[in-house]
């Protein structure tokens, strides 16, 4: 078993439950702190796996370009809450697999917060964006789902609305909710819902019209320059 996989198991089975147990005994609004720490703990095994792989320069640059595009996707489209952020992350996940997808998402979130301002939501955002990459990577790995535009679009829409969006709303809940009852949390999730649908719709449109065109670009660069291979194609 790889070192990063061992770390992943230790994190999931020991460290995170321990954090939660310890956190329950802390007073005040420690659930915010707790959730942020757990979000960071989820990042650790992914980062370790990436570090341990000692990626080649060409892979590094490609990942950096994709992560920068995540930020650009937030800047370049002039319509509010209609940003193809998740589409970019998911395409990276589909093209390069779940692990790289996670790195692209997490790094994209951290990087864009350097421009939009870091906040208490940054660890959550890194985790949620990273998960978007993992989800798409897992869904389309080894031909599980057909890489057709509409399949990718629908998958991305469903993931955004049902998983990534609510995950981000949960960070809002841990920051501003005063009581963890459904009655109290529902308004926050409901107010987040239209935004999530818009985001999902934007991802759908991006993938529906450009999905395979962009994937082809990534694949072309991959084969033309031998990127993401274990040895550089030089």
Which spans of this chain sit near another protein (rule: CB under 8 A)? 26-30, 32-33, 47, 50-51, 54-58, 60-65, 67-69, 71-73, 75-79, 82, 84, 103, 107-108, 110-112, 114-115, 117-120, 175-176, 178-179, 183-184, 187, 202, 205-206, 209-210, 213-214, 217-218, 221, 225, 227, 232, 234
Q: How far is the CB of 138 from another protein (least distance, A)?
A: 22
Nearer to another protein by Cβ, of 154 and 163: the residue is: 154
Which residue has tokens 């770390």? 7
User: Diameter of the chain by CA atoms?
Assistant: 60
Alpha-helical regions (H) of 117-180: 122-140, 149-159, 165-176
Asked if 177 contacts 192 with a C-beta cutoff of 8 angstroms, the reply is no
Q: How far is the CB of 116 from another protein (least distance, A)?
A: 10
DSSP 179: S
- Return d(Cα 39, Cα 126) in angstroms, integer: 8
33-to-20, 23, 161 alpha-carbon distances in Å: 11, 8, 25
Nearer to another protein by Cβ, of 77 and 197: the residue is: 77
Q: How far is the CB of 206 from another protein (least distance, A)?
A: 6
- Return d(Cα 97, Cα 95) in angstroms, integer: 6
Q: How far is the CB of 160 from another protein (least distance, A)?
A: 16
Nearer to another protein by Cβ, of 107 and 168: the residue is: 107
- Return d(Cα 18, Cα 136) in angstroms, integer: 30
Closest to 73 measured CA to CA, from 94, 90, 50, 95: 90
Q: How far is the CB of 166 from another protein (least distance, A)?
A: 18
Nearer to another protein by Cβ, of 15 and 205: the residue is: 205
Q: How far is the CB of 4 from another protein (least distance, A)?
A: 13
Nearer to another protein by Cβ, of 195 and 221: the residue is: 221
Helix-, strand-, coil-residue percentages of the chain, each rounded to 5: 80, 0, 20
Nearer to another protein by Cβ, of 59 and 161: the residue is: 59
Record the tokens describing residue 29, joined without a space. Answer: 């609004």
């Amino acid at each position: 078993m790889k070192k990063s996989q061992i770390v992943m198991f230790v994190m999931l089975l020991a460290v995170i439950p321990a954090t939660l147990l310890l956190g329950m005994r802390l007073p005040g609004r420690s659930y915010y702190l707790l959730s942020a720490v757990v979000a960071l703990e989820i990042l650790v095994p992914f980062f370790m796996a990436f570090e341990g792989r000692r990626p080649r320069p060409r892979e590094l640059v490609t990942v950096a370009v994709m992560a920068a595009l995540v930020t650009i996707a937030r800047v370049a489209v002039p319509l509010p809450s209609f940003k193809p952020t998740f589409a970019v992350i998911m395409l990276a996940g589909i093209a390069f697999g779940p692990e790289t997808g996670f790195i692209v998402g997490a790094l994209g979130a951290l990087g864009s917060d350097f421009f939009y301002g870091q906040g208490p939501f940054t660890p959550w955002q890194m985790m949620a964006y990273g998960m978007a990459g993992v989800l798409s990577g897992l869904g389309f790995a080894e031909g599980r789902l057909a890489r057709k535009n509409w399949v990718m679009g629908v998958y991305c829409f469903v993931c955004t609305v049902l998983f990534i969006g609510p995950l981000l709303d949960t960070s809002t809940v841990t920051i501003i909710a005063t009581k963890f009852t459904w009655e109290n949390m529902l308004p926050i999730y409901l107010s987040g819902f239209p935004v999530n649908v818009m985001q999902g719709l934007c991802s759908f449109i991006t993938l529906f019209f450009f999905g395979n065109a962009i994937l082809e670009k990534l694949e072309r660069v991959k084969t033309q320059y031998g990127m993401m291979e274990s040895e550089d194609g030089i």
